[in-house]
Amino acid sequence: MFGTILKLLTLCALAHSINAHTLKQDPQRQQVPITPEQKYLIVRGESSATSEEHLQFDDAATLLLSAFKTQQLKAALDLEECSEPTHKATFSGIDYVILLSMLVVSLGIGIFYGFFQTGGSSSDDFLLGSGMSLLPVTLSLTTSFITAIELLGNPSEMYFQGTQFVLIVIPMLLVIPVAVKVFYPIYFKMELTSCYEYLGIRFGKEIRILGAVLYVIQMCFYTAVAVLAPAIALSKATGLDTKIAVILIYVVCVFYSSMGGIKACVIADSFQAAVLAVSLVLIVLLGCFYSGSPVQVFQTAAERSRLEFFNFDPSPTTRHTVWSVVIGGFFYWTSLFCTNQASVQKCMSLKSLKLAKIALGFAIIGLVFVFLLNFYTGLMVFTHYADCDPLSVGRITASDQLLPYYVINTYDHVYTIAGIFVAGIFAASLGTVASALNSLSAVTCEDLLINGMNIKISPEKGATYAKWMSLGYGVGSFGLVFIVEHLGGVLQATLTLNGLIGGVTLGLFVLGIACKQANTKGAFYGGLLSLALVIFVGVVAQIANVETPALPTSVEHCDCHVNVTGIIDDLLSESLLPPAEHGFTSWPIFRMSYMWFSMVGCLLTVFLGWLISVIIDAVQRRSVLRLTAKGIDNPAVSEDVFKCDVPVIFTTMKPIEPTSGEGHINLAIRLDDEYSAK
């Protein structure tokens, strides 16, 4: 009934629009015949497709649409079709020069550190950099956390969903004390190359390999998506070929990350951070002139219901609330800053823990600034298109094309701006991929080859192995791009999978740090079980694909012909009744906001790992008690087992307190040495 009322209101509005134009007598145009039966229609509710009321409804819709299309043809003669503009902004020669210059400089950095820089022949030099400077590492950390997906997705989020997601900067700041007080002191005290070495020291070889394998799977797919998604958006909005964009990014990244190691990645990231900052600042400054001042931007956003910061809805199925963004975002950023090898490896390249803390703090502050600038850009774009939404009129086909379309078309006559903008997007992709490739080579060499497969690699050959690993992962990730491209909806699924795996990995670290009772089997089986559960929930959630409707947009004052009849056709053809929910996919857990996935993965891993550890410990204690029980209660154990002919060795000497740098003293070894000396 509700759907019928809405359809009827649509017909009434359409009839009102036609009343003053189409149904007038016009000798130049043939009138659409109206039969007496079609003058008055009464629709009393939803009925079957063969009922008389339903047929009359369809006849009325067909009549009104035909009349409306006839009237629109005359108006459309003087205006171009919105979905087919006569002028399309494209990349110019100077724009290509700017883009290629940025890529050539990045290549030059790889050539310098690969062929002309002394040192770097050992695996530690290649993977850790042997004492990098503070400023380059800070800029590199900031660039690594800014992906091209976020640069294009954040403005789109502000445009279509509002500003609730802006609160994501709060958990970024909350992560700083956790990182500098809990995680990084452990890493520096152990002098780790891979952060997953901690899992091996705490739990054993199996957990170290599990963490490394999860990271490899996570980053291989994530790098492919992080390159493909912005390449597709840039292709649709600027005309830049998708394959050319992907090839350029991977060729440059693979070259300087495999030849120059972590030093080349850090220095190249610093240069790319400057390019990215220039592009973002230029867009905002030009937007103040072309789209409106900050006062106008926020005023328009408030009038059109885009400003929202205090949605305290407790439902976990609501996409963005204060709870999901702040709490769920805290777990997401903790996994990214504290247990992701790409970030840990750069902090470990510094000379001391103090410098690492400073670099991490300033990197997060810089990241907050970039995100806020990016969010404001989204509101600025909304102000520009407040009365003519490019997605509704067919100028773009997806929401992530919004920012490229705005820059290329609004600043079309501004010299070099398109090239600088695309160079900034490329810089974000380069930083993400290069850091991932270098960290993947470190994890593979240290955790999988040396520790997992017991392959002995000398420090001299370690750099060579790492270079080939970086090259291999680059080629493999490049191949995944073209597989992912043909899988459609796997893009969003892969990004969700990234959050799920990151949450489970964070859970393993928290389990080792916070739970003394946790043991190897508990961590291993708890981690695997948690991973299986959260991936199942995430995959089913992607299949259910509950999309949050966008906030209303307008096409009221477009300077082109809007194909309103197509919009009305779609409205009348689709059912407005809520879809029927069947099966387990309708359960609330499968409609949970994606912001909670990292938290669920982490807490589930900690709980199951602790529970299984406690159960295993209780079973083992019971078995030991059975074996050591004496008397008739345990006739299976002979008394000879408890006889001992070896004299008991003891000493009255107090244990020597270890000095700084000596590490842990094995008292058992000291006693044996004293006994043998006597």
Per mean pLDDT, which range of 34-38, 126-130, 379-383 is the poorest?
A: 34-38
The more confidently predicted of residues 484 and 417 is: 417
The more confidently predicted of residues 468 and 230 is: 468
pLDDT value at 43 more than 50: no
Mean of pLDDT values over 123-131: 59
DSSP-assigned letter for residue 485: T
pLDDT, position 538: 81
The more confidently predicted of residues 465 and 237 is: 465
Point out which residues pair with 81 in neighbouring strands.
Answer: 561
Contact partners, residue 521, CB within 8 Å, separation at least 6 = 612, 613, 616
How many other C-beta atoms lie within 10 A of the C-beta of residue 399?
Answer: 18
The more confidently predicted of residues 502 and 70 is: 502
Mean of pLDDT values over 515-544: 88
The segment with the largest mean pLDDT, out of 4-8, 143-147, 200-204, is 200-204
pLDDT-based confidence at residue 8 (cuts at 50, 70, 90): low
The segment with the largest mean pLDDT, out of 8-22, 137-151, 333-347, is 333-347
The more confidently predicted of residues 655 and 255 is: 255
Two tokens, residue 432: 């993400």
Mean of pLDDT values over 536-548: 77
pLDDT value at 526 more than 60: yes
* Mean residue pLDDT across the chain: 77
pLDDT-based confidence at residue 444 (cuts at 50, 70, 90): confident
Q: Record the pTM.
A: 0.78
Mind listing the pLDDT tens digit for each residue in 600-624?
A: 999 999 999 999 999 998 888 887 7
Q: What does the H/E/C string look like for 497-563?
A: HHHHHHHHHHHHHHHHHHCCCCCHHHHHHHHHHHHHHHHHHHHHHHHHCCCCCCCCCCCCCCCCECC
The more confidently predicted of residues 447 and 582 is: 447
Mean of pLDDT values over 72-95: 66
pLDDT value at 575 more than 60: no
pLDDT-based confidence at residue 281 (cuts at 50, 70, 90): very high
pLDDT, position 165: 92
The residue with tokens 């990645």 is: 265
Torsion of CA 316, 317, 323, 326, to 10 degrees: 120
Q: CA-to-CA distance for 636 and 630, rounded, in angstroms?
A: 9
Does domain 142-568+585-614 fall under CATH 1.20.1440.130? My reply is: no
Mean of pLDDT values over 479-498: 66
The more confidently predicted of residues 147 and 363 is: 363
pLDDT value at 570 more than 70: no
Q: CA-to-CA distance for 408 and 418, rounded, in angstroms?
A: 6
Mean of pLDDT values over 666-674: 42
pLDDT, position 176: 92
pLDDT value at 143 more than 70: yes
Mean of pLDDT values over 399-408: 87
Q: CA-to-CA distance for 378 and 154, rounded, in angstroms?
A: 7
pLDDT, position 371: 93
Look up residue 11 and give its amino acid: L
Two tokens, residue 455: 């392959």
pLDDT, position 28: 45
pLDDT-based confidence at residue 250 (cuts at 50, 70, 90): confident
Mean of pLDDT values over 183-207: 89
pLDDT, position 670: 42
pLDDT, position 248: 82
The residue with tokens 């640069």 is: 151
Point out which residues pair with 561 in neighbouring strands.
Answer: 81
Mind listing the pLDDT tens digit for each residue in 213-227?
A: 999 988 888 888 878
Distances (CA, A) of 6 to 2, 26, 45, 456, 537: 6, 32, 11, 72, 35
pLDDT, position 634: 54
pLDDT-based confidence at residue 24 (cuts at 50, 70, 90): very low
Per mean pLDDT, which range of 34-38, 379-383, 501-505, 653-657 is the poorest?
A: 34-38
The per-residue DSSP string of 220-278 comes to HHHHHHHHHHHHHHHHHHH---HHHHHHHHHHHHHHHHHHHHHHHHHHHHHHHHHHHHH
pLDDT, position 459: 66
pLDDT-based confidence at residue 397 (cuts at 50, 70, 90): confident
